[in-house]
Structure 1
Amino acid sequence: MELLANYLFFSRYASRFPCATVCTGRKYVNLSCCFQNGKQMVQEGALTALASVADSSQDHFKKYYDAVMPYLKAILMNATDKSNRMLRAKSMECISLVGMAVGKDKFRDDAKQVMEVLMALQGTPMETDDPITSYMLQAWARLCKCLGQDFLPYMHVVMPPLLQSAQLKPDVTITSAESDDEIESDDDSIETITLGDKRIGIRTSVLEEKATACNMLCCYADELKEGFFPWIDQVAPTLVPLLKFYFHEEVRRAAVAAMPELLRSAKLAVEKGQAPGRDESYVKQLSDFIIPALVEALHKEPETEMCSSMLDSLNECMQLSGCLLDENQVRAISDEIKNVIIASATRKRDRSERTKAEDFDADEGELLKEENEQEEEVFDQVGECLGTLIKTFKASFLPFFDELSVYVTPMLGKDKTAEERRIAICIFDDIAEQCRESALKYYDTYVPFLLEASNDDNSDVRQAAVYGLGVCAEFGGLTFRPLVGEALSKLNNVIRHPEAQHADNIMAYDNAVSALGKICQFHRDGIDAAQVIPAWLGCLPIKDDKIEAKVVHDQLCSMVERSDAQVLGPHSQYLPKIVSIFAEVLCNGKELATDETTTRMISVLKRFQQTLPPDFLASTFSTLQPQ
């Protein structure tokens, strides 16, 4: 690190001493030779290395900060010649990465000076090929991440040129594919593609600047949250049309990523009273602008990986909009999800047919494998979107689900991948949990799949299936009652498996224990409680699935609070085990129980101290671990 700092120092001053020889550590360097043969290259290399070290070491870079920042600022302020444009650009990159690494508190004193230089530079006319433009856009965004809300005073300087770059039109030249006219084929900045009978030339430098700007807008919205609100009315009309910008994938990707950030900014600003003259209707208006555009773009998107990103963005937007979505929008989203499932299944089928071709080889097989993995990510996002719609609209979504179910149910087939089966099961789990009595009509179709999948070879499928059995036990009432015996058998297989608590299987185990507890609670009269309840207690506490742990331990606490005779056991024989469970849960702080549950557990233990015989208590506490 000191050597890098020395390079920066000596490269700055060596030209004043053309015959100098200096010491860096134990080595002597003849600077006249070094810098006559690439002074600027050495400086740029040192800056790149420093930036990489800072980015990798993060907070550990603080001890070098005071040594390197003066040199970085000196280059930023003094490398003003045209020949030093890249050097100055690299210094911006390095300063911003160092600032992010050491954090706002350490960087604050130098930040103002750096920002003043950048603001002055921002207002300087630059040539179209000047690398400083792109580097400065990225440096501003990093400085925003470093400074957070303290960056807001500079936004009025940053945003105008950023919007201008994001609004750049693609520089496109179109000629006939058979034409003898060349599209500046010797220009490295132009990319040429042939589509049908047309040859299209696109200047990539313009697109790269546009993509960088779009990414920066997304970054500002993400970082500043409600603070970004004043620019939403300019940014949304700029980025929404770019959801279908097919000239450059990175532009589309940035626009897609920005959609939920814009909605979140607007929603937070309204909720926190930082949007003068605006209310929830503004959020609704923005949602109505963004979500239909996302759905339309999804319908036309040619890239599978981008489809997945669009579904992810759509899901976030739906979560933010919630009940602001109207019936027509829900209909459009559901129809598009159906189209996505059909298109994905068609692509997979075509790939499967391709494997039967005579010229199919191992390299193509690897490529098709990667493409099928991308399809699974699409299905995963489909499941997330449906889960959000189900949780938001509950039983009122069921008419839409009825139309989709003919596409979801086949995903449960044994010929499908484990991921497809897991997603289909999770969709039904959400239906059963959120729609409750209204979901009973689906039990005959889906619960047999849950029972079968409870012993699936894939642990993720098992986890989803046993979780679903727990949901059905809780909300299925008399519809689930005839299936209790088979469900107990399946859960027992999961819990008693020799490798049940192996790292790969533990989440399925925890969910099976939770499901068993719900059967004990809601179907007590349909089981042999004298055997099942002690078996359930013997599995507690569960520790890996933190969500289910809190549910189960709250359930046990409620049973003990009401002095459930079968849980306490004959002559309170299970009480030592219960105290042991409570003690272990309490020792884990907030990990395994909510604050409310831990408070109630402590009250129960205090009550035991006051009401139980001292000998019994002493015997019970003697079974606990020392801690």
Structure 2
Amino acid sequence: MDSGEFGVVKELLLQVMASDNEVRREAENKLTQVRQANFDKYFAYMVTGFADQGVDLRARAMALILLRRDILENNHEEPSVWSKLTGETREYIKAQILEVLANETDPLIVNKIAEFAAKIAIAINDVNYNDIWLDLFNLCKRLISEGNETQTKAGLVVYAEAMNGLSNEIVVNDADLYAMFEVTLKNENIEISLASLKAIRQFLTTVMPKHAIRFVGLLGDMVNISVRAIKSCEYKVLEESMEVLIAIIEAEPKFFLNDFPDLLQVFTSISEQSQHLNETLKKLPVELLISIVERDSSLLTRNEDYLKQILDLTFTLILEEAESDTIVFGRKFMDRLCSCASAEYILAPICTLVKQAVDHKDWKQKQAGLNAFSQIGEYVSEIEQISEMIPTVIEHCKHEHPKVRHAAVHCLGQFATDLKHQLTENYHEAIIPTLYEAMNDKVNRVKAHASGCMSNFLENASQEIGLKYCEGLLGHLFKLIKSESGYLAANAVTCIASLAQSCDQEFNAYFDSFCNELLPIITQKVPKDFRRFKGQAIESLTISAVCIGLDNFRFHSEKVAKALILILKNHLDEIGDPQRKYILGGFQRLALIMEKEFAPILPEIMPDILKMASLYPKFRSTLKVPNISENYDEDQDLMNEDTNPDESDEIEEIDIITQILCVFIDELKELYAPYIEQTSELFVSLSTFSHSDKVRQNASECLPKILKIVKKCENENMRAQLYGEKFIDILYGNLKIEGNVSVMKYQINAIKDCIDEVGDFLSEDQINQMSEVLVEMISKSDRRKDLNNKFHNENGQGESEIDEMNRGFLDEENQEEDDLQISISETFGVIFKTHKNKCGVLASNLLSDLVSSYIDENASFAKQKFGVYLICDAVEYLGPDILGTKYQDCLSTFVRLSKSTDPLVRHGSVYGLGVSSITGGDLFAQYSVDALEILKEAIEMEPGSQDISYYNHARDNAVSAFAKILKYQHAPIDTEAAFEYLLQHVPLRHDMIESKLTTNFIIDTALNNPTLFTSNDHQNTPQLITFIQNLSTSSLASTTLTNLQLLLSSLSSDPTAHRLLSDANISLPLQHP
């Protein structure tokens, strides 16, 4: 190693942390140059930088941070950074890690190197699944058994971190794992015991259940850490140990079920001893027990004592005199109990508990009883189950103690949300006056909460109820929105929006008064504690505008828009100001109601909205490498160098901005064209926004919509093609690094829509390269499904609620994979459609290498569906000229799978037969008669246990395919008999597209060839008349209706047909209703 160069690197590591931004940037650039000049040398320098104890501690820490970033955070790269290093460099890194881990004395560096070592072990295994870094784990076991406290903790940290990617490999290769955990859990140093528990958490939350169950014998020692902690007043350890146990319960609940009676006893005792401690320690023992019973409700439904004991613990949390979060926790826990144990089991004991509390003289008992009672409404199917308690709740809205009044009001508001129309329809005459009186309470908190609960009530009220109370309520609400309490004013203005929703368009009579009251308030700057009120006022005003409809709102639109523009330009403050998201939502609602009339407002607001979107450069490209200087703050504890500040407000705002721009594009279409350039740059940037799946989805989804506007606005297709190439290139790149299956689907669909919009612009090489990536995505998707199925086969055969829940999760994941594959299939279809003459090789390869295994008779229905859909597109868009001999293979597949008992597979297959009759010409003729018989079988198949909606659509498509064959294939079919059969199964009622096609075909055929229906003693005439009688003329296109009238006129000239028409009460002229 060049000592001179290394000296320069050490200096650069310190300069990266300099306070001078110019110095930082220059150091970053120089380190980047070193990395680019010699990849391996750069990593060797970084390793030496953290390993050399003679180097400044800050520089050592920065070297470690850079290594973690370069090797681990860029793991989306293919090939990975680790795999690109030479074998010599990799061995050097491993040797230095082991050396530092064994000999380092600084606790911060030891801890960080332990985490880094574990990540390297995972990186090694990612490159070679058979490569387990045994030297590392052997060293860790030695440190754990022989080292000092720092080294023991470091060894456990390695195991904990490595479990994230290697848990199954470790348990298979490490026979001493159980013994190691057993010893460290019992260590006299409770901090080491806690570190061991954390390692076990990582193990149990990632390992296969079949391995996890072998470690159930450790449960007693795991739980005993909490017992030891409360006895020794180690409250931080107590809190962390219970949080770790809860995390394990959520991942591996079976671990705890057999020992639940003992666990209930232990944590009831801890709960009782925690009552004098902080709120977190009060709630954790109860949360732990509820977390267990949530996973297996039979623990409660089969043992009433368990249920009562946990109810009592939960009620204790609610029974608080002071303002406390434990009341909120108690309500949530009560809600979770109600959710996991059905009303059949839990309603009676809760009602008994509540009645005893409410009848108690102590106001605290009454408050707790009402708070508990408020949580059960969601789980009550009929209001009669609790109707006898409602008068008691109403009565307590007038109790002398304000906290009891508040709890009773809250109860009514919660019931309004949960019971909806059942409560409003049956109790509005008692509840609305009660809440109105509470809105005049002398205590502002009760008054404000009553306004919020009135809002809940009105949200579910009918228009009749809303109008009955509207005028009386509005006068009082107008006074409350001028309150000196921002909380009260905000609830009051939200209540007005709920009132508008119940009155719907009839609220127009009051909208002008609402504007006159509200606009002078919101167009003024307000104190910081009133910003949320102002935001909710904007929301209320724009919701009310939507309610009254555009025709009524048009008169007010200018003054409302001007008020919102004023706020946008002059009243918004820094990130976190609640007005920001409300003003964005307000403009979104105006765009939805005004549609293209919103266009003149855009020039006033778009610069500000785009500026708001540009405030987040640090978020913009988070799948790329961040600046070095962002990874270190010299005033920050090195232990927390990866911790980010709370960024939820910023992320939420970016999400809202993407949504509002999507709405503008949807509603304004070509009128949005002036902002296409900036918007496309923004969405391209946000398409890699790793902080929010939703933002990436929105950004991807909107790119083809932008393309559509460009294409519509340009006289030539060149600019649209340039945009299309750019968007597809971006989406294609994002797709290769995306880890979320749902987002992948959006990206695939966006690529598909872009190709569909631009048309034939890809070269054959580009098509083949893209197809290779798509096929590889299918393979990876199949591997993920295989892993899920393997997990289910090895671990999910039980019949418990937990097993059922796990199966549900796996089914959801597999369904997402199936949806992704269908999107890929549709993308191939669009490529076939738009690039027909460049798809010969692609289609041949797909049908031979991929689809053949998917349409095998032993393949799953999901795979068969994918295969059939792809074949349908190939047949429809490429035809026999491109497919050659593969075309007949496709037809044979359609014939075979048209008999499938899966309605989606059958749907695709029968549709394929219909399309083949169009594209196949004479080649299809040899299949015509057999195809009609196959379709008859599909039409007449009984639904059995099939999903009835899918079944009906499959049946409609079979009938439509039957009609297509009659239309496009003539000989050697018995046409009259075939039409007689067809008329028995029309009109179609479910697939409306196929229904229109089939209806038009029958009418046109009857009009142009009437003898088909009137010959042979009018054999088919009655069925034709019945078909016409059953048509819904309101759904017919004007040309179809005209042809139908011509047909009726023609039939009327035939005496027999005329009589049948008269008997069916069908006469001319037919008109749209």
How does the TM-score come out when normalised to structure 2?
0.49
Decide whether aligned partners of structure 1 residues 474 and 57 sit closer, same or farther in structure 2, where only a CA change above 3 A counts. farther
Match of 1:377 in 2: 819
Secondary structure of the equivalent of 1:407?
helix
Cα distance in 2, alignment partners of residues 528 and 35 from structure 1: 81
Decide whether aligned partners of structure 1 residues 325 and 60 sit closer, same or farther in structure 2, where only a CA change above 3 A counts. farther
Secondary structure of the equivalent of 2:663?
helix
Secondary structure of the equivalent of 1:526?
coil
Contact residue 439 and residue 446 of structure 2 kept, 8 A: no
* Aligned counterparts, 1:147-546, within 5 A: 147-167=594-614, 168-170=616-618, 173-175=630-632, 180-181=637-638, 183=640, 203-270=647-714, 279-327=716-764, 329-357=766-794, 362=803, 363-405=805-847, 406-438=849-881, 439=883, 441-497=885-941, 505-529=951-975, 531-546=977-992
Amino acid in the other structure paired with 1:135: Y
Cα distance in 2, alignment partners of residues 479 and 71 from structure 1: 75
Contact residue 559 and residue 567 of structure 1 kept, 8 A: no
Determine if the alignment matches structure 1 residue 104 to structure 2 residue 561. Answer: no
Cα distance in 2, alignment partners of residues 566 and 118 from structure 1: 67
Cα distance in 2, alignment partners of residues 253 and 26 from structure 1: 44
Secondary structure of the equivalent of 1:123?
helix
Of residues 1031, 1038, 1061, the one that matches 1:621 is 1061
- Structure 1 residue 495 displacement after superposition: 2.8
Match of 1:143 in 2: 590
Encode CA deviations 1:529-562: one digit per residue, 9 max, x unaligned: 5644432333344343332233333333444344
Match of 2:437 in 1: 27
Contact residue 1051 and residue 1058 of structure 2 kept, 8 A: no
Cα distance in 1, alignment partners of residues 595 and 546 from structure 2: 11
Aligned length: 577
Match of 1:550 in 2: 996
Contact residue 259 and residue 290 of structure 1 kept, 8 A: yes
Match of 1:134 in 2: 581
Decide whether aligned partners of structure 1 residues 603 and 59 sit closer, same or farther in structure 2, where only a CA change above 3 A counts. same
- Structure 1 residue 31 displacement after superposition: 5.6
Amino acid in the other structure paired with 2:600: P
Amino acid in the other structure paired with 2:831: L
Contact residue 1006 and residue 1012 of structure 2 kept, 8 A: no
Cα distance in 2, alignment partners of residues 136 and 351 from structure 1: 44
Encode CA deviations 1:141-167: one digit per residue, 9 max, x unaligned: 222222222322332332222222222
Secondary structure of the equivalent of 1:505?
helix
Decide whether aligned partners of structure 1 residues 258 and 51 sit closer, same or farther in structure 2, where only a CA change above 3 A counts. farther
Decide whether aligned partners of structure 1 residues 407 and 46 sit closer, same or farther in structure 2, where only a CA change above 3 A counts. farther
Contact residue 1021 and residue 1057 of structure 2 kept, 8 A: no
Encode CA deviations 1:91-126: one digit per residue, 9 max, x unaligned: 112222222232223223333223223322333362
Match of 1:19 in 2: none
Decide whether aligned partners of structure 1 residues 175 and 350 sit closer, same or farther in structure 2, where only a CA change above 3 A counts. farther
Cα distance in 2, alignment partners of residues 474 and 116 from structure 1: 57
- Give the structure, 1 or 2, with the largest relative contact order (CA under 8 Å, sep 6 or more): 1
Amino acid in the other structure paired with 1:244: T
Encode CA deviations 1:195-226: one digit per residue, 9 max, x unaligned: xxx55556333333333223322222222211
Encode CA deviations 1:319-348: one digit per residue, 9 max, x unaligned: 222234554554444333223212211211
Match of 1:87 in 2: 533
Contact residue 592 and residue 667 of structure 2 kept, 8 A: yes
Contact residue 432 and residue 471 of structure 1 kept, 8 A: yes
Decide whether aligned partners of structure 1 residues 66 and 120 sit closer, same or farther in structure 2, where only a CA change above 3 A counts. closer
Secondary structure of the equivalent of 2:673?
helix
Decide whether aligned partners of structure 1 residues 370 and 395 sit closer, same or farther in structure 2, where only a CA change above 3 A counts. same
Decide whether aligned partners of structure 1 residues 559 and 161 sit closer, same or farther in structure 2, where only a CA change above 3 A counts. closer
Decide whether aligned partners of structure 1 residues 513 and 109 sit closer, same or farther in structure 2, where only a CA change above 3 A counts. closer
Decide whether aligned partners of structure 1 residues 53 and 445 sit closer, same or farther in structure 2, where only a CA change above 3 A counts. farther
- Higher Rg: 2
Q: Percent identity?
A: 22
Between stretches 423-432 and 552-561, larger displacement belongs to 552-561
Secondary structure of the equivalent of 1:244?
coil
Of residues 597, 602, 606, the one that matches 2:1049 is 606
Cα distance in 2, alignment partners of residues 479 and 309 from structure 1: 38
Secondary structure of the equivalent of 1:85?
helix
Secondary structure of the equivalent of 2:581?
helix
Secondary structure of the equivalent of 2:638?
coil
Decide whether aligned partners of structure 1 residues 224 and 26 sit closer, same or farther in structure 2, where only a CA change above 3 A counts. closer
Match of 2:1024 in 1: 578
- Structure 1 residue 379 displacement after superposition: 1.7
Decide whether aligned partners of structure 1 residues 552 and 32 sit closer, same or farther in structure 2, where only a CA change above 3 A counts. closer
Secondary structure of the equivalent of 2:575?
coil
Decide whether aligned partners of structure 1 residues 133 and 458 sit closer, same or farther in structure 2, where only a CA change above 3 A counts. same
Secondary structure of the equivalent of 2:899?
coil
RMSD of aligned alpha carbons: 3.4
Cα distance in 1, alignment partners of residues 790 and 764 from structure 2: 39
Cα distance in 1, alignment partners of residues 1000 and 860 from structure 2: 36
- Structure 1 residue 386 displacement after superposition: 2.2
Amino acid in the other structure paired with 1:470: G
Cα distance in 1, alignment partners of residues 860 and 875 from structure 2: 23
Encode CA deviations 1:375-399: one digit per residue, 9 max, x unaligned: 1111221232222222223354333
Encode CA deviations 1:75-101: one digit per residue, 9 max, x unaligned: 423562233111111111222222223
Secondary structure of the equivalent of 2:1033?
coil
Encode CA deviations 1:254-275: one digit per residue, 9 max, x unaligned: 311221221122222236xxxx
Amino acid in the other structure paired with 1:152: A
Contact residue 137 and residue 216 of structure 1 kept, 8 A: yes
Secondary structure of the equivalent of 1:544?
coil
Cα distance in 1, alignment partners of residues 446 and 914 from structure 2: 75
Encode CA deviations 1:392-419: one digit per residue, 9 max, x unaligned: 2335433322233322332223454434
Determine if the alignment matches structure 1 residue 121 to structure 2 residue 121. Answer: no
Cα distance in 2, alignment partners of residues 485 and 308 from structure 1: 40
Secondary structure of the equivalent of 2:631?
strand
Cα distance in 1, alignment partners of residues 1009 and 563 from structure 2: 72
Of residues 34, 43, 46, the one that matches 2:492 is 46
Decide whether aligned partners of structure 1 residues 617 and 449 sit closer, same or farther in structure 2, where only a CA change above 3 A counts. closer
Contact residue 505 and residue 547 of structure 2 kept, 8 A: yes
Cα distance in 1, alignment partners of residues 856 and 507 from structure 2: 54
Cα distance in 2, alignment partners of residues 540 and 33 from structure 1: 68
Cα distance in 1, alignment partners of residues 546 and 706 from structure 2: 24
Contact residue 569 and residue 608 of structure 2 kept, 8 A: no
